[in-house]
Chain A
């Protein structure tokens, strides 16, 4: 079917600004296939049902909205942790600022370098999970990423990783338009933690393809903050084998437009997938969590826990789906999306969906939205807690269910600390 003219023009304008790497090596094929997908689908527009609540214009426009760059902060959110830091500046790997990528149980290569090798394990994966992630909803911005990614990192865990890998993104150019594509493979029985933080670029498009083999475990914690004019779209495409574990948590504060998509396919029996997010928005803020979990095997468990606290005209969006395929019996699916609106200007828009084709399942979802509980507030104040502190306390307790999804106590405490500091800066 031919694309509508407006969509065609927007897509052509955007593609005209991009170019593929000079020596794509084995990535040439998947990139060409991805470009063909973008051209068939066209980039998203306002009228697309899948973008009903979030206007993708700034993500699709030919050029990024310029944004002030951010000085490299002295302290980073995961500084307390023993980790391997890999630094990207405006979407380009910075070897000098990064740690030595040698890590027991893990093999790390930069995408730009790996493409030049004749044989690389990632050649079979690059763009594969993304390509499978367009049913039943198209995600053209992810296909665009596969086609034009300038850099990224390829991580293969073969055993229990000694320490987490931390991807740090710095933003130094006011007009940077970064496209990063990471591929992660967790082999059978391996265990890997990936941490992400930093403002990245004026506009950021990131795809992470994660393949977790039978019995593998993958933990992901991401902190999105600091940059008020962040415009970012990120996709995680994960394929989970039998008995595998996948856990992803995202903390988001600030950001003019952030769309985080997470697409998980549970292909082996007894897998576990948890996706969670805690977000705080003040003023010019739009945060969109779009999650799509497919149960394609028996006895799997999935959880989606998303909490949003919004004030001064901030907008929170949640689109979540549990799809249980025929035969995926004994599925345990749970989904909760809640918002706390601290004033009358903010809004919460949600579409929590269930699509179920197997009968022996227990699936549920809940979604609520409302103001802070005045009775609880009164109780705290009657015990001598000042109002602003009482509100912060209640906000943190509201977010707790999502934060508890982080397994590491160390990271959990750091996240709570960051959230509390943000709250005390944004009182009133």
Chain B
């Protein structure tokens, strides 16, 4: 876990913090959701429901130019004619889209703070508690004692999104000197309209699907990244999404552009308070990768998954897509999905440029009553394009876990390669694991290989661990971590540590 600078915090807060930490440690050991608390803060909401006026209001709150408002309205009108998709293997009560708040922002954010010093301390405290200090400081790689960790610290710039607004972005100055633009998307619409106009909706069009269209109409904030030609982003960028307000949907929009020969690694984390009511989250992430550029996108999705009885949790309907537009461009999606009551998410790669490359590494863990339908699409359009899919699904309790994917080799995608490996692990006899791959090969110089297995945790391995003195839960966690190894290794150091612990925590209570 990330350390934070205690010298800056007052004595009383330390005591309180320590107490909280103890409570949290105990909670996490009992397998409870660690981030289920709520920040008590005065909020300002848009009226409940969704109409053209609400769309205009969101646009006005962000001081958007007319073209942006029109773009949103166009999406909204389209959305009204669309039907919610029902093909995924997930079941949930009908969502009443008129019983949601589409905009919620802390009152203290009415005047946008000019620097981090002006941000409401309550918000800063929230992020500190989540282990994401909004201070420009060195974050130690890994945890204490990790011997491979580099001696010097590593920097990670953070954009923190709280309900509908971005609270602040760290290291903006330092990034600016490298030419990298990293800010909230609302700020980008003001300051870099030409970039936003050019790329927004160019990867995930407004009309793409029900949730993406809804997002296009009502997205309130999100992150924007532009890395200029030839620049290797000097630090990792990250966005931390926190849902706090009740009955409020979060609709963020992320747009990442890696210009020619640029490189950036981007991390995304998310949590929400524990509530009995389910909450909606519908995000869109668009990534544009130009010639010879590379983008790594890593997610640890830890939205509130609902309780043991299946009450509450986040409904997570996400559209993520990367467009490898130039030759030799490269994108890598890594995701660890442990949260959310319902997950509907398919981070995809359009391999348009010749020799471009897409990778997808995923761990999806479902426990209790969680349902996940997740996977990827690899659309090979250019010559010599390569893609690799490694998906590990783990299902426990009464949960359902589905891998759904598409590999498509266009007639022009000569000499392309795909390798897919989907493994599912079942823990207990009440859960389900499913694999739904679509394979479309339209030329013969390409090779496509797909393999999938489903099995249970190996008794011999468990017995071995237990004979070495581990209890059953520890043993299962170890075996599962081994099962996920290929994906965990693809994560940046900070995330890998967290993910490994998450794997163990998510499965607690699933054995016996």
Q: Is the CB of A366 within 8 A of B429?
A: no
B431-448 interface code vs A (CB 8 A; 1 in, 0 out): 111111111111111111
Q: Which of B424, B444, B451 contacts A370 (CB 8 A)?
A: B444
Q: Identify A352's interface contact among B429, B445, B450, B453, CB under 8 A.
A: B450
Docked CA distance A342–B447 (Å)? 13
Given the interface pairs A361-B456, A366-B450, A367-B439, the reply to whether A326 lies near B444 with Cβ below 8 Å is: no
CA A297 – CA B471 in complex, angstroms? Answer: 33
- In the complex, whether B27 has a CB less than 8 A from a CB of chain A is no
Q: How far is the CB of B218 from chain A (nearest CB, A)?
A: 29
Asked if A79 CB lies within 8 Å of chain B CBs, one says no
Give the shortest distance, in Å, between B480 (CB) and chain A (any CB): 14
**Is B454 in contact with chain A by the CB < 8 A criterion?**
yes
B426 at the interface (CB under 8 A from A): yes
A361-B448 CB under 8 A given contacts A354-B434, A355-B432: no
Would you call A351 and B434 a contact (CB within 8 A)?
no
Query: Contact: A371 with B451, CB < 8 Å?
Result: no
Of all chain A residues, which has the CB nearest B455?
A362
Which chain A residue shows the least CB distance to B426? Answer: A359
Could you say which of B424, B427, B445 contacts A344, with CB atoms under 8 Å apart?
B445
A22 at the interface (CB under 8 A from B): no
Q: In the complex, A62 Cα to B367 Cα: how many Å?
A: 51
A348 at the interface (CB under 8 A from B): yes
- Asked if B450 and A368 sit within 8 Å, CB to CB, the answer is yes
0/1 string, B292-311, CB within 8 A of A gives 1: 00000000000000000000
Chain B residue with Cβ nearest A52: B438
0/1 interface trace, chain A 335-376, chain B, CB 8 Å (1 if under)? 000010111101111111111111111111111111100000
User: Are A353 and B428 in touch, CB under 8 angstroms?
Assistant: no
Determine if B92 is an interface residue (Cβ-Cβ < 8 Å). no
Q: Choose among A329, A348, A361 the residue that contacts B439 (Cβ–Cβ < 8 A).
A: A348
Question: Do the beta carbons of B441 and A359 come within 8 Å of each other?
Answer: no
* A359-B445 in contact (CB<8A): no
Q: B411 contacts the other chain (Cβ, under 8 Å)?
A: yes
B67 at the interface (CB under 8 A from A): no
Chain B at the A interface: mostly helix, strand, loop or mixed? strand
B452 at the interface (CB under 8 A from A): yes
Closest beta carbon of chain A to B412's beta carbon, Å: 10
**B455 A361 Cβ-Cβ under 8 A:** yes
Q: Is the CB of A347 within 8 A of B453?
A: no
Contact yes or no, B444 A346, CB < 8 A: yes
Interface presence of B430 (CB below 8 A): yes
A386 proximity list for chain B (CB < 8 A): none
Q: B429: which of A329, A342, A353, A369 is its contact (CB, 8 Å)?
A: A329
B240 to chain A, nearest CB (A): 35
Query: In the assembled complex, how far is the CB of residue A356 from the closest CB belonging to chain B, in whole angstroms?
Result: 5
Residue B19 at the A interface, CB < 8 A?
Answer: no
Chain B residue numbers with a CB within 8 Å of A364 are 451-454
Taking a contact as CB atoms under 8 Å apart, the answer to whether B456 and A355 are in contact is no
- Give the complex CA separation of A347 and B430 in angstroms: 39
Q: A366: which B residues are within 8 A, CB to CB?
A: 449-452
Contact of B444 (CB < 8 Å), options: A341, A353, A359:
A341
- The answer to whether residues A365 and B435 also contact, given A341-B444, A343-B444 and a CB cut-off of 8 A, is yes
Residues of A within 8 Å of B449, CB to CB, are 366-368
Specify which of A346, A351, A355, A360 lies most central, judged by the most chain B CB atoms within 10 Å of its CB: A355
| Residues in B neighbouring A346, C-beta threshold 8 A | 444
Do B432 and A357 have beta carbons less than 8 Å apart? yes
Residues of B within 8 A of A354 (CB): 424, 433-435, 452, 454
Which residues of B does A touch, CB under 8 Å? 87, 409, 411, 414, 424, 426-456
| Known A327-B429, A364-B454, A365-B450; 14 more pairs at CB < 8 Å | A348-B441, A350-B438, A354-B434, A354-B435, A354-B452, A355-B432, A355-B434, A355-B435, A356-B454, A362-B453, A366-B449, A366-B450, A369-B448, A371-B447
Q: Which 10 residue pairs of A and B lie closest in terms of their CB atoms, listed nearest first?
A: A341-B444, A359-B426, A370-B447, A369-B441, A354-B435, A350-B439, A367-B450, A371-B444, A363-B454, A364-B453
What are 26 A-B contacts defined by CB distance under 8 Å?
A326-B430, A341-B441, A341-B444, A343-B444, A348-B439, A351-B437, A351-B438, A351-B439, A352-B439, A353-B434, A354-B433, A355-B434, A355-B435, A356-B434, A357-B432, A360-B429, A362-B455, A363-B453, A363-B455, A366-B449, A366-B450, A369-B441, A369-B446, A369-B447, A369-B448, A371-B447
